Every structure is written in C-alpha cells, then in structure tokens.
Chain A
Amino acid sequence: MSVTDIKTERVAGWNRPPVIEPDGEGELLEVAMGPHHPSTHGVFRMDLALDGERVVRLKPVFGYLHRNHEKLGEGQSYLASMPYTDRLDYICSLTNNWAYALAVEKLVGQEVPERAEYIRVILAELTRVQNHASSIGFLIQEMGASGTPLMYAFKEREKILDLFESLTGSRMMCNYMRFGGCRVDVSAPWLDATRKVVAGLPVFVDEFEALLSSNEILMARCQGVGILRPELAINAGVSGPMLRASGVNYDVRKVDHYGIYDRFQFRVPLGDHGDIYDRYMVRILEMRESIKILEQALKDLPAGPIMDPKAKLRGFRPKPGEAYGRIEAPKGELGFYLISDGGPNPYRYRVRTPSLINLTILEDMCLGHNVADVVLIFGSVDIVLGEVDR
C-alpha cells in the first residue's frame, strides 16, 4: 500500500508528521527495531507500531552511543579536541577535522596558507567519494544484494584509505588538520599515488552505475519510496545529499565559499522527486563532481608552507567571543559552535551533526510504507551513529 492510498489521514500541521489511523481490523503490533539490528548501522532503535505490514507510528530512540562529546570538549584544550572529532563520523574523519579547524580559525581570525587549503580540499573530496561509495554499497546491501556491491565500493574505499594511511598515519582516525594549516606535508610520491587513484575513480563510478542505476530491483524498491517534500526538507533542517535529492539547490561549498571552493568548477546535482532513488543518484553524481574538483586541485597544487608561520601553537587562548563554522561534510552540513571566555579550554563546544538532524523527518518519510521499506529509507538517510549520539 502506498502513501497515496491512505484515506484516514489527518494532517497535524504542514510540518508535522501525518497522523495515520489504523483501519480498525485486528490489533496494532508494536515492534522495537534495534538497538542491535543489522540495518541500523550501529546501535539505534526505532519503535514502530504496525497495522499489518504498514507503519502507522515510528519513534526513533537515541543515546546508545552517547558519551557526551561536548562535555569532553569543554574539559580540555582546543587542540586536544581534534582527535576526538575523528570519532564523530568515523567514516569521514578528515571533514570533521576541517569543520572544527574552520570554526576555531573563525574564532581567532586565523589565516590558512594556500597549499594547506588545497590539501584540505583534496582530502575532503577523497573522503566524500569514499563515503558516498560505501553508503550506496550499504544501501544496496539492505536491499538484499548481500555483499557484492558493497565489496565493489570497499575495493575503491580501500585505495583511498591507503592514501590516508600513508599521509596521516591512520586509516580512519586521521587527526590531520591543525588551526592554521595541516600536520604534515604531502610528498611527491604521495601525489603521484593520489593522481593514479583519482584517474581510476571515473572507471569505478561508470562500472558501479552500469551495474546498479538501471537495475530492475533497485528501481522497483527505490522509486517513489520515502518521498521528502522540498519545503519540509528545508523547514526540518535537512542538509547534504538528502536536501539536494529533494530538489533544493543548497550546497555550503557554493554558498559559503569556505576554504578555496570558489576556484573550482563543479556543479551541484539535484534530484527531482525526493525519493530514495534520487538520493542514490545524487550521491553518484556528487562522486563525479568530486572527481572533477580533485583533478583541478591536484593540477593547481601550489608550493609553499602548510602551516601559517604566525599561527599560535603553545598557550593557545582565543579572546572572549564566539564563532559558528560549518562545512559541507559528505552527510550534510557539519557545524561547530564555540564560545571562548579567554581561557585555554572552550567555554562551550557544540557540534551540529547532519546525521541527527536528518533523522528528524524519518517518521514523515516512513509512515504508510511497509517495514521492509523502512530499512531502505533509513539507509538512504546515510547516518553514522557516532555522530548521531555523540
């Protein structure tokens, strides 16, 4: 039964989830999906009420991975939080590093040398490619194609993680950016290896798309399922590929021009229907745009220092004030809000994570669909529980 068949639907306000009344035959079945369910990508629970196969109520339950990251940030110096940001979204640690460094640089008015900006762009776009590839892989796995598409994605992700490891010393917990630059410089052999990997990426995306985009099962399961209206998406603070799949042209890279993103030619792919298939397609197209940015950045990479010589490393105490810095992380808008009282530790350290806020409209998208579709809709949001619960 599709959403349009629901006749007994009362609208509780244009930006509230619809109230669906059961058809009155039989009892409602309450199901706790999770916290240990293969489709929840970690420890997350959805309390569902089912009328037959149809979802009539869905309440997400958070907090299984809560370690009060923000309190930890208040108890230690600014730099000491940098390795902790790796643990937020552990698939894309480098973009987390960048968002935090950007917020602190705004707070103290710190400049970043050009070479460091280029390195940041290269690493962030590599992160985006591997995140989108693996999130599509997971989505297809939840559709029942157990393993094979995911392994195609992981094959490519592995090459990118090897690059991260040889540059930063760690595959996932990179801890690479610093306030005013980066930790180590890239070497010529590393750049050659990166160029080789980037040259292979379009082949990978073509192959991925040839296998998946017109796949009959994928189209049948994804098209017209989990539709998100653009006006609701904006109102609910949804960001990243989710927002753009609903047809809203909003990319922080294009709007804020943080770093040096105004120097690159790239387009913002948009969806038309806002269903799961559009989210899949937007991610595929974003990978292609990221490859374009990577090619330009690797061509133009200038020589120079990777750390601002005027950057203060010891006794780092920002003047009293506050700053909010945000970037376009692979999952959406990732922001850090910092208040300084002049001391060595931040007075307030807040992380605005895309994963948590993109789940606000999970109920709206799932109501009226079958349980099997809930798994797919949830997968198409692309969350990491380390970032949801913090």
Chain B
Amino acid sequence: MKSVEEIKTAIEAAIPGAGVEFVSNPSPSAQHSLRLAPESAIAVATFLRDDAELAFDFLSNVTGVDWPDKEVAEKVKVTRTVTKSVDGPEGPVEQQVEETVEETHKRVEPGCLEVVYHLYSVAKKHGTLVLRMRTVNRSDQTELPSLTGVWRSAEFQEREVFDLYGVVFSGHPDLRRLLMWDGFKDHPMRKDYVEPDDFEYEPTPHDEVLKRAQERKSEGLGTRD
C-alpha cells in the first residue's frame, strides 16, 4: 500500500484544492490519518473508492470524537522597555533598558466534533487508511457531509454518531436516532453530558393517557363518584 503521504499527493493531483491535511499519530501503532475539508469530502471519498490503485471499497468503522473547548495557558515572552537606574561613573543614571518577561496568557481553544473513518480495501487487501473531518464548533454549526452514498456501511454508524454526539450529516437518507429514543434531547457521548435525575423516564403513550385523565378530572368529567 502507498503511504499516507503518497495517498495525500494522489488525492491532491486528482482533485485540485481538496484541502487534505496530514495528521500524524505519535503512538507505536503509527496509524497516521488525513483530515478532509467538509466541502470536498464526498469527492475525495469517491476518488478513494473508485481509484484503481487505492480501491478503498470497504468502510469498516465510523465514529465520533468529542473535543470540548479547552482553556490553554501558555507562556509568552514579552520584550518591554523599562526605565532603570544603572550605576554610572558619576552616580546612578536613569537609562532605558530592554527586558524580557514571561507572561502567562490564557486563551480558549474552541472545541469541535470529529468524525473518524477507517477504510480498508477488499480488492487489494490493504488498509488502514484513517480519514477525519471536523465540525466548526460543538453548538450550532455541527453539519458534515454524509458519506453514506459512497459507502453504505456508514448508514447506521452515522446515525449512531448523530445520536450520541449530535453531528448532523447532510445528505443522509434516514437521519434518526439509532440507540436512544426519538424524544431524547441530549447527546450522551459528549464529554460535558450531564445525566438526568430520573434515568427511567421515557415518554410513553401512557403519559398522554394520564395527562388527559388529569385534565378531565379537573374539568369534573369522567369521574365515577
């Protein structure tokens, strides 16, 4: 198999302006990955599947990763001009001196949701190629293109990522929650997820019945006594 850098070059040759970025993996597994730009993701995915030499026809795994907003404290060296009294030949003299001071700056790195794809080739029997895509942020711009049209195996797994992480896959044929029930509000796999007080609560038709009965009772209807 070609190395990940070579695959990146092949993609860039085939799709100009694909915006593919190499992400290195420092672990001993050395499974490096490519970060795709959401705009060109479907074109790149189709190229990877249909190219005769690469032939990544088997999408094994699709999963989400949550990267919350991170507060980073970094030390910055700042050069300032300070007035200091320096001993001269005729007693202390005021002088302008340049001084380097370390300052700690705090900044918030915006978080994002990431979707990771693991590709293999059944035809050429090689792999793994890892693809990743990032959303703009974690709150309102969580849209990514769906790769279900390219690889059908993404269908349920993208539904799962939507369910547990809240990534909205545009172009997915049937984007519903997979594991949680339809009335569920939050996304449980996010790092800042807070568990509800009543775990067992689940809206059922029975709740409606009870509510209606309550209303009827308050109106003085339907009581037997």
Measured between C-beta atoms, what is the minimum distance from A47 to chain B in Å? Answer: 12
Chain A 235-248: CB-based contact to B (< 8 A → 1; otherwise 0): 11111000000001
A335 touches B61 (CB 8 A): yes
**Which single residue of chain B is at the shortest CB-CB distance from A13?**
B149
B25 touches A322 (CB 8 A): yes
Residues B79-134 near A (CB distance < 8 A): 116, 118, 122, 125, 128, 130
Q: Give the contacting residue for A357; candidates B26, B157, B177, B179; CB below 8 A.
A: B157
Q: Give the contacting residue for A324; candidates B61, B173, B179, B180; CB below 8 A.
A: B61
Report the Cα distance A319→B28, complex, angstroms: 9
A348: Cβ under 8 A from any B Cβ: yes
Measured between C-beta atoms, what is the minimum distance from A387 to chain B in Å? Answer: 13
B72: Cβ under 8 A from any A Cβ: no
Stretch at the interface among B36-44, B52-60, B206-214: B52-60
Inter-chain contacts of A390 with B (CB < 8 A): 179
A321 touches B29 (CB 8 A): yes
Instruction: Provide the main secondary structure of the chain B interface.
Output: loop
A213: Cβ under 8 A from any B Cβ: no
Measured between C-beta atoms, what is the minimum distance from A168 to chain B in Å? Answer: 28
Inter-chain contacts of B149 with A (CB < 8 A): 13, 15
Measured between C-beta atoms, what is the minimum distance from A81 to chain B in Å? Answer: 15
**Which single residue of chain B is at the shortest CB-CB distance from A348?**
B65
Q: Give the contacting residue for B28; candidates A107, A235, A333; CB below 8 A.
A: A107
Inter-chain contacts of B157 with A (CB < 8 A): 356-357
B217: Cβ under 8 A from any A Cβ: no
Range class of the A interface residue count: 35 or more
Q: Beyond A66-B180, A107-B29, A323-B27, is A236–B128 a contact (Cβ under 8 Å)?
A: no
A322 touches B60 (CB 8 A): no
Range class of the B interface residue count: 35 or more
B125 touches A333 (CB 8 A): no
Q: Beyond A235-B151, A335-B118, is A68–B178 a contact (Cβ under 8 Å)?
A: no
B27 touches A340 (CB 8 A): yes
B27 touches A356 (CB 8 A): no
Report the Cα distance A357→B120, complex, angstroms: 15
Candidate in A107, A235, A248, A356 with the most chain B CB atoms within 10 angstroms:
A235
Measured between C-beta atoms, what is the minimum distance from A271 to chain B in Å? Answer: 15
Report the Cα distance A2→B156, complex, angstroms: 27
A337 touches B116 (CB 8 A): yes
B178 touches A236 (CB 8 A): no
Measured between C-beta atoms, what is the minimum distance from B114 to chain A in Å? Answer: 9
Q: Which residues of A does B touch, CB under 8 Å?
A: 13, 15-16, 62-63, 66, 68, 70-71, 106-109, 232, 234-239, 248, 250, 255, 318-324, 326, 333, 335, 337, 339-340, 347-348, 350, 352, 356-357, 359-361, 389-390
Of the A-B pairs whose beta carbons lie under 8 Å apart in the complex, a sample of 18, sorted by A's number, is A15-B152, A62-B178, A63-B181, A66-B179, A68-B164, A68-B188, A70-B164, A71-B188, A236-B153, A321-B25, A321-B27, A322-B31, A335-B61, A348-B65, A352-B60, A359-B156, A360-B156, A390-B179
